[in-house]
Amino acid sequence: MKASVSVPDVALTLSTFSLLMVRLTALNVSKDLNLEASKAKKTQAELDRTTRLAAYEVRQQAIREVQQANATRFEEVVYLLENTTGDFCASVANQIKRAEYHTELFNILSDRQFEIIAEIYGKALGRKNSKAYDAGVNEFHEKYGEKE
């Protein structure tokens, strides 16, 4: 038995083939667009990462500059605290050295810490309630400001 193919069957097969070719072409275009979008996302991600890294480096440099300024400005207080016994003094000295933003001692320390450091500064010059002690506390407040 011989199979016969009619003309409408051939036309249907050709239209099906054409439809498949159109779909394949659309898929290839879609893949190309997805590939381009993926490349654009990677490029944007790399750009974002570079921008964040540069901003981080600028911020770290600014922090180092503030810390250096604090170390120079408060050198006398830090030296006094580092050479005084006790964990409190060492802790406050480290807090002053690590301060990232403030350049005023009364902004770095809490109210109570500031007053205790003023008392330690005064006691370095004389015993409590003496004229030398009072002069030392006043000198500390003149040099480093008043806590508000």
pLDDT digits (tens, 9 = 90+) for 93-133: 888 888 877 667 777 888 888 889 889 989 888 888 899 99
pLDDT at 148: 55
In a domain, 69, yes or no: no
Identify the segments of the chain with pLDDT beneath 50: 5
Residues 49 and 105 in one domain: no
- pTM: predicted TM-score of the whole model, two decimal places: 0.54
In a domain, 108, yes or no: yes
Residues 78 and 136 in one domain: yes
Given a contact cutoff of 8 angstroms between Cβ atoms, the answer to whether 147 and 111 are in contact is: yes
Listing DSSP states for 48-78 in one string gives HHHHHHHHHHHHHHHHHHHHHHHHHHTHHHH
Phi, psi of 104 (to 5 degrees): -115, 130
Residues 54 and 89 in one domain: no
Token look-up 């381009």 returns 36
Residues 6 and 24 in one domain: yes
pLDDT at 131: 92
pLDDT at 109: 84
Domain span including residue 82: 74-144
What would the two tokens of residue 2 be? 């011989």
